[in-house]
């Protein structure tokens, strides 16, 4: 009888441990977000100010949209290093279209076309050219930045239609439009990845490409779709970035955006090898980076050390992923 009770206790303990492990595996980034949020609230009384909260969301909106596309790419087992350069190329061509036509609609349409085309080319190189995504997008990163610099002669290009600034500098109640766009894009990509056949195919591709092929999944088409979607999301971020100041700098805009996006995705729990991760995880990963940057600014931490903190967080996130 005593032996039976011991077995029951061991079984109960094992079950509890299993549940806790599952809870941490599924919701670790959300738990980490709330821990960091509470810590930030304690360390600085200015942190909870509503204007500061809106400022955090505003600051992460552009990287957040880029990170959504990066999540889809990484879930498929790839990576996209070209997002920052494609963003500046889209911005430069968008301003040129805006100035040439005087039409905001044409400018936005041009942005979508350029961003999606760059992503499509990335997808073609990876899917049809059989080039590793790291190399293909590295080439696009260099090429897109170079073209942007050539067009803008190494400087900035300003828009001549003042109405274009409304996109990034208006608000609904107290919520800025870029924040709303970020939230809408998050919801749309979430539905795409978790409620559609395309999303299931992306997860299958990232988990095991050979098995996906044997399951009659058109792997090449899925890859091209993945990179095209990432490029389209970059174009949305480019529109916001360009609209904010009604100009774009060919030399400084988009610099290291790929690193920030990758950091948010990894912190959000998406594996580098693909097949596992969630859009909601990336959303909270972006917020964690935003809170950390905001806290370091409020506490007057040297901007030269902020990259170190970001790198440390990425390494910790990867270590925890390996233990799952």
The pLDDT tens digits for 36-45 are 899 889 988 8
Instruction: Kindly state whether residue 20 falls inside one of the protein's structural domains.
Output: no
> Which segment of 22-31, 85-94, 138-147 scores lowest on mean pLDDT?
22-31
Which pLDDT does position 24 carry in this prediction? 60
Q: Residues 152-179: what's their mean pLDDT?
A: 89
Which pLDDT does position 191 carry in this prediction? 96
Instruction: Kindly state whether residue 288 falls inside one of the protein's structural domains.
Output: yes
Rounded to the nearest angstrom, the gap between the alpha carbon of residue 190 and the centroid of all alpha carbons in its chain is 12
Instruction: Kindly state whether residue 248 falls inside one of the protein's structural domains.
Output: yes
Q: What is the distance between the alpha carbons of residues 82 and 80, in angstroms, rounded to a whole number?
A: 6
Which pLDDT does position 81 carry in this prediction? 95
Assigned token pair, 120? 């499509």
Instruction: Kindly state whether residue 277 falls inside one of the protein's structural domains.
Output: yes
Q: What is the distance between the alpha carbons of residues 95 and 308, in angstroms, rounded to a whole number?
A: 35
Q: Among all chains, which residue has been given the structure tokens 């005087």?
A: 102
What is the residue-averaged pLDDT of the chain?
A: 88
Going by C-alpha positions, the residue among 3, 253, 234 that lies closest to residue 121 is 234
Give 261-320 as a DSSP string: HHHHHHHTT--TTSS---HHHHHHHHHHHHHHHHHHHHTT--HHHHHHHHHHHHHHHHHH
Can you give the C-alpha Rg of the chain in angstroms?
A: 22
Which pLDDT does position 160 carry in this prediction? 86
Instruction: Kindly state whether residue 34 falls inside one of the protein's structural domains.
Output: no
Q: Residues 194-221: what's their mean pLDDT?
A: 92
Overall number of domains in the chain: 1
Q: Residues 121-142: what's their mean pLDDT?
A: 95
Instruction: Kindly state whether residue 11 falls inside one of the protein's structural domains.
Output: no
Going by C-alpha positions, the residue among 282, 239, 280 that lies closest to residue 260 is 282
Q: What is the distance between the alpha carbons of residues 143 and 89, in angstroms, rounded to a whole number?
A: 10
Burial of 160 (0-12, 13-18, 19+ CB in 10 A): exposed
Q: Which domain holds residue 199?
A: 61-314
Going by C-alpha positions, the residue among 296, 322, 265 that lies closest to residue 83 is 265
Instruction: Kindly state whether residue 256 falls inside one of the protein's structural domains.
Output: yes
Kindly list the distances between the CA atom of residue 36 and the CA atoms of 125, 150, 239, 282, 284, in Å, as whole numbers in the listed order: 40, 43, 31, 16, 11
Which pLDDT does position 21 carry in this prediction? 60
Q: Residues 83-93: what's their mean pLDDT?
A: 96
Residue 4 has pLDDT above 60, yes or no: no
> Which segment of 22-36, 114-128, 136-150, 184-198 scores lowest on mean pLDDT?
22-36
Instruction: Kindly state whether residue 134 falls inside one of the protein's structural domains.
Output: yes
Does residue 262 contact residue 277 with C-beta atoms inside 8 Å? no
pLDDT tier at 8 (50, 70, 90 boundaries)? low
Give 112-144 as a DSSP string: HHHHHHHHHHHHHHHHTS---HHHHHHHHHHHH
Rounded to the nearest angstrom, the gap between the alpha carbon of residue 170 and the centroid of all alpha carbons in its chain is 23
Q: What is the distance between the alpha carbons of residues 80 and 71, in angstroms, rounded to a whole number?
A: 10
Phi first, then psi, for residue 27 (nearest 5°) are -125, 20
77: domain CATH number is 1.10.3470
pLDDT digits (tens, 9 = 90+) for 55-72: 999 999 999 999 999 999
Going by C-alpha positions, the residue among 97, 140, 96 that lies closest to residue 228 is 140
Q: Residues 205-213: what's their mean pLDDT?
A: 90
Question: Which position has the higher pLDDT, 235 or 12?
Answer: 235
């Amino acid at each position: 009888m005593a032996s039976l009770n011991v077995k029951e206790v061991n079984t109960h303990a094992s079950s509890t441990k299993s549940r806790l492990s599952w809870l941490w595996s599924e919701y670790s980034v959300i738990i980490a977000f709330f821990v960091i949020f509470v810590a930030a609230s304690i360390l600085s009384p200015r942190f909870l100010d509503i204007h500061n909260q809106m400022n955090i969301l505003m600051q992460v909106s552009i990287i957040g949209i880029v990170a959504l596309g990066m999540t889809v790419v990484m879930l498929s087992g790839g990576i996209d290093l070209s997002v920052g350069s494609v963003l500046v190329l889209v911005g430069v061509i968008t301003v040129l279209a805006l100035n040439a036509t005087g039409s905001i609609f044409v400018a936005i349409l041009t942005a979508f076309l350029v961003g999606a085309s760059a992503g499509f080319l990335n997808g073609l190189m990876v899917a049809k050219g059989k080039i590793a995504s790291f190399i293909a997008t590295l080439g696009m990163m260099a090429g897109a930045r170079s073209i942007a610099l050539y067009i803008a002669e190494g400087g900035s290009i300003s828009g001549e239609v003042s109405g274009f600034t409304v996109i990034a500098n208006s608000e609904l109640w107290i919520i800025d439009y870029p924040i709303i766009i970020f939230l809408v894009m998050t919801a749309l990509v979430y539905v795409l990845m978790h409620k559609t056949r395309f999303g299931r195919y992306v997860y299958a591709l990232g988990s095991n490409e050979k098995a996906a092929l044997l399951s009659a999944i058109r792997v090449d088409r899925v890859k091209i779709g993945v990179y095209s979607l990432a490029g389209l999301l970059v174009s949305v971020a480019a529109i916001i970035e360009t609209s904010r100041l009604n100009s774009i700098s060919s030399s400084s805009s988009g610099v290291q955006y790929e690193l920030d996006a990758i950091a948010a995705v990894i912190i959000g729990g998406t594996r580098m090898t693909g097949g596992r991760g969630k859009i909601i995880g990336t959303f909270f990963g972006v917020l964690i980076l935003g809170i950390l940057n905001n806290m370091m600014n409020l506490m007057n931490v040297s901007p030269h050390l902020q990259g170190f903190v970001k790198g440390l967080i990425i390494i910790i996130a990867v270590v925890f992923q390996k233990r799952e």
